[in-house]
Chain A
């Protein structure tokens, strides 16, 4: 088991490095001069650019040397946790990310919790419903929720809970109350995705022979659904959880803008607006890391949820 975990951690690190490399190639190897892009900023056509400043920035980013040398240097920096200097602020990218991380982490954690609970409740309720129309209504909910633009869901919630009912603050980031609406907004598409995957896997699991056996021994409908089919069906939504969390990181860009919150999402939106490429690359590293960490945790937890997976994997890895 120890060797299996070590191998998986090494693999996760490689994926992060590979994702960063793809983004690095997009940013620095694509036709076009990243230096003039960044100095001009804000998407406009570049006007006059000070050659002295351009050379200084080129040196800082390691772009004055042959491309492979610059890449290796940046890679070495990444491995030491040095993500370069933010062009728009002059601060180290790693410091800016660290400063922006706590509010987004709180937001994301609450959003994932709401999404997992909400998605599971809807999927189990749809599978347990006896009345046809209840079932149809519950099954129609996730595709509808997944089709609504995130920014619109946020504004709708603000409109209703803040302006109509006056229950929660509309904007800003003070106190737990201001966390509720943005987390709910982020959770809607995530819960929709999880519910859709879980509905399909529950349907499949209910046809398994051990579920029929449990039912035949006298276990109630609810008990077989939750204890037997539920455990067998959990693998599918858990394996997409990494992508769902990645989607939440990306969704934070929109949600933190909607709710005027500080955090990684806002930092990303500003970095794209100012074409601050080192910061954008840093956020890519962060999102990829979130993706692989969640996948790693899911892989470690999965054998305890679905015993069939554990036996196959631990035996295979123990050799």
Chain B
């Protein structure tokens, strides 16, 4: 649902809109001084470390548990408690970061890559290509993202990578819209007109002017997409379309804990808190990197 907000009007209260081709800068100094921004970065860095070297973070085993330690509440030995098979929930979450983050990154990559390509084609080629791409993007708005992902999964089959692909394809329209708008904005600017007057090829205009300038908005949207992709990936994993058990995944862990909701709250509640923390952090980061937001 966060993707609704990208399409919204730029923030109110800005008196002087910058001329086309000029974009307000990200206020780095202000961001570095913001505790919430730094905390968000720290959370995301930590999650990446979990995904890369889970064995350095936790001594617990994600797949095998001690049956004597079944359903222990959180404590010093097991920060997130243990599950019905005596497995350490924190260890499972940390190891599950790898698969869940993999699916999320596939999703963002597919969405950003596919969307940027379509947006550039639509913005540069114009005419029929633009009309067709723009109409398809508009029509796709009528299908909720999660439902489109579910449709793709029904065709592609199940698995962590396929979840990522399905979520990524649903994210393409947002990137295509932003990229197309950027291309049109920059193409209409004076300096591109000047470059073309002196004989620059369209490919040179694209490589030297359009792509560097479009990078900022696409990266900001990419981080926002990261947040919604974590939610979509974990929802699809929760529904059982991800890796088969006993492989740990953020969403499927919560689904497995659902049977013990009355007796062992930590199986569902703590992984959920961790997922939400990652999403909040990515949203905060994206808000900081959106120039007009930072200037408020």
- Which residues does A use to contact B, with CB under 8 Å? 15-16, 18-19, 22-23, 26-27, 30, 32, 34, 37, 43-44, 143-144, 146-152, 155-156, 158-159, 163, 170, 189-190, 192-193, 196-197, 200-201, 203-204, 207, 236, 240, 243-244, 246-247, 249-251, 253-254, 257-258, 268-269, 271-273, 275-277, 280-281, 283-284, 287-288, 291-292
Q: Are A253 and B150 in contact (CB under 8 A)?
A: yes
- Give the Cβ gap from B172 to chain A, nearest Cβ, in Å: 12
Q: State A88–B140 Cα separation when bound (angstroms).
A: 27
Q: Which of B104-152 contact A (CB under 8 A)?
A: 135-136, 139-148, 150-152
Q: Are A37 and B155 in contact (CB under 8 A)?
A: yes
Q: Are A32 and B5 in contact (CB under 8 A)?
A: no
Chain A residues within an 8 Å CB radius of B39: none
Q: Are A27 and B276 in contact (CB under 8 A)?
A: no
Chain A residues within an 8 Å CB radius of B76: none
The 7 tightest CB contacts between A and B, nearest first, are A152-B272, A204-B12, A43-B158, A250-B144, A250-B146, A147-B279, A246-B144
Quick one: closest B residue to A32, CB to CB?
Answer: B155
Q: Are B269 and A280 in contact (CB under 8 A)?
A: no
Q: Are B9 and A254 in contact (CB under 8 A)?
A: no
Known A249-B144, A287-B147; judge A37-B261 contact (CB<8 A).
no
Chain A residues within an 8 Å CB radius of B219: none
Interface residue B275 (Cβ < 8 Å from any Cβ of A): yes
Interface residue B4 (Cβ < 8 Å from any Cβ of A): yes
Chain A residues within an 8 Å CB radius of B246: none
Q: State A158–B157 Cα separation when bound (angstroms).
A: 31
Q: Taking chain A's interface residues, is the majority helix, strand, or loop, or is none over half, making it mixed?
A: helix
Q: Are B235 and A151 in contact (CB under 8 A)?
A: yes
Interface residue B33 (Cβ < 8 Å from any Cβ of A): no
- Which residues does B use to contact A, with CB under 8 Å? 1-2, 4-5, 8-9, 11-13, 135-136, 139-148, 150-159, 227, 231, 234-235, 238-241, 251, 254-255, 258, 261-262, 265, 268-269, 272, 275-276, 279-280, 283-284, 287
Q: Are A148 and B4 in contact (CB under 8 A)?
A: no
- Give the Cβ gap from B289 to chain A, nearest Cβ, in Å: 15
Q: Are B276 and A146 in contact (CB under 8 A)?
A: no
Q: Taking chain B's interface residues, is the majority helix, strand, or loop, or is none over half, making it mixed?
A: helix
Q: State A156–B269 Cα separation when bound (angstroms).
A: 7
Quick one: closest B residue to A189, CB to CB?
Answer: B1
Q: Are B142 and A147 in contact (CB under 8 A)?
A: no
List 15 extra interface pairs beyond A149-B235, A197-B4, CB under 8 A.
A146-B1, A147-B231, A147-B283, A149-B279, A152-B272, A156-B272, A204-B13, A244-B4, A247-B1, A249-B147, A253-B239, A268-B147, A269-B150, A275-B154, A291-B141
Q: Are B152 and A152 in contact (CB under 8 A)?
A: no
Known A155-B269, A236-B9; judge A291-B4 contact (CB<8 A).
no
- Give the Cβ gap from A171 to chain B, nearest Cβ, in Å: 10
Q: State A190–B140 Cα separation when bound (angstroms).
A: 19
Q: Are B261 and A155 in contact (CB under 8 A)?
A: yes
